[in-house]
A and B are shown apart, each in its own frame.
Chain A
Amino acid sequence: MPHLAVNNLRAKYGALEVLKGVSFSIEKGQVVALVGPSGSGKSTVLRTLVGLTPVTGGNVTIHDDKIDYASSGSLRRARDQMAIVFQQYNLFQNMRIIDNVTVAPVKIKKRPKDEARADAERLLAMVGLADKLNAFPDQLSGGQQQRVAIARALALHPEILLLDEVTSALDPELVNEVLDSIRQLAKDGMTMILVSHEMAFVREVADKVVFMDGGSVVEEGLPEVLFDAPKTDRAREFFGKILRH
Chain B
Amino acid sequence: MERILEQIPRFFTADNMALLLQSAGLTLAMTVAGCVIGFGLAFVLVYLRQTPGRWALPLRVICVAYVEVFRRIPFIVVIYLVLFFIQTVASNASLFTIAVISICIYAIAYTAEIIRGGLESVPLTQMEAARAMNFGRLRTLVTITLPQAWPVILPPAIAFAVSFIKDTALVSQIGVFELTFRGKELNNQGYSGILVFGTIAMCYFLMSFPLSMLGQYLEKRLATPRSEQSARKIRRT
* B and A form one assembly: yes
Using CB atoms and an 8 Å cutoff, list the residues of chain A in contact with chain B.
50-52, 76, 79-80, 83-84, 86, 88, 90-94, 103-104, 107-108, 134-136, 138-139, 156
Whether A79 and B126, one on each chain, are in contact in the complex, defined by CB atoms closer than 8 angstroms, is no
B223 at the interface (CB under 8 A from A): no
Whether A90 and B133, one on each chain, are in contact in the complex, defined by CB atoms closer than 8 angstroms, is no
How long is the Cα–Cα vector from A136 to B228 in the complex, in angstroms? 11
B158 to chain A, nearest CB (A): 20
User: How many inter-chain contacts with C-beta < 8 Å in the A-B complex?
Assistant: 54
Partner of B129, one of A86, A94, A107: A86
Complex interface: stretch among B103-111, B141-149, B193-201, B209-217: B141-149
Whether B134 and A94, one on each chain, are in contact in the complex, defined by CB atoms closer than 8 angstroms, is no
B125 at the interface (CB under 8 A from A): yes
How long is the Cα–Cα vector from A76 to B136 in the complex, in angstroms? 10
How long is the Cα–Cα vector from A154 to B92 in the complex, in angstroms? 62
Which residue of chain B is the closest to A136 with respect to CB atoms?
B226
**B130 contacts which chain A residues (CB < 8 A)?**
92
The 5 closest A-B pairs by CB, nearest first: A90-B129, A94-B147, A104-B133, A50-B132, A90-B125
**B221 contacts which chain A residues (CB < 8 A)?**
none
Chain B: interface residue count, which band? 10 to 19
A110 to chain B, nearest CB (A): 11
B226 to chain A, nearest CB (A): 5
Partner of A103, one of B143, B227, B230, B234: B143
Whether A107 and B139, one on each chain, are in contact in the complex, defined by CB atoms closer than 8 angstroms, is yes
**B148 contacts which chain A residues (CB < 8 A)?**
93-94
- Given A50-B132, A83-B133, A134-B234, 5 more contacts at CB 8 Å? A94-B147, A107-B143, A108-B133, A138-B227, A156-B133
How long is the Cα–Cα vector from A13 to B128 in the complex, in angstroms? 16
**A76 contacts which chain B residues (CB < 8 A)?**
134
How long is the Cα–Cα vector from A79 to B132 in the complex, in angstroms? 6
**A83 contacts which chain B residues (CB < 8 A)?**
132-133
Asked, given contacts A108-B133, A134-B234, whether A86 binds B125 with beta carbons under 8 Å apart, the answer is: yes
Whether B230 and A90, one on each chain, are in contact in the complex, defined by CB atoms closer than 8 angstroms, is no
B130 to chain A, nearest CB (A): 8
Whether B134 and A139, one on each chain, are in contact in the complex, defined by CB atoms closer than 8 angstroms, is no
How long is the Cα–Cα vector from A169 to B139 in the complex, in angstroms? 29
**B230 contacts which chain A residues (CB < 8 A)?**
134-136, 139
Which residue of chain B is the closest to A77 with respect to CB atoms?
B134
A-B contact list, 9 entries, CB within 8 Å? A76-B134, A80-B134, A83-B132, A92-B144, A93-B126, A107-B143, A134-B234, A138-B226, A139-B227
Which residue of chain B is the closest to A139 with respect to CB atoms?
B227
Whether A79 and B134, one on each chain, are in contact in the complex, defined by CB atoms closer than 8 angstroms, is yes
Which residue of chain B is the closest to A49 with respect to CB atoms?
B132
**B134 contacts which chain A residues (CB < 8 A)?**
76, 79-80, 104, 108
B198 to chain A, nearest CB (A): 47
B220 at the interface (CB under 8 A from A): no
B121 to chain A, nearest CB (A): 12
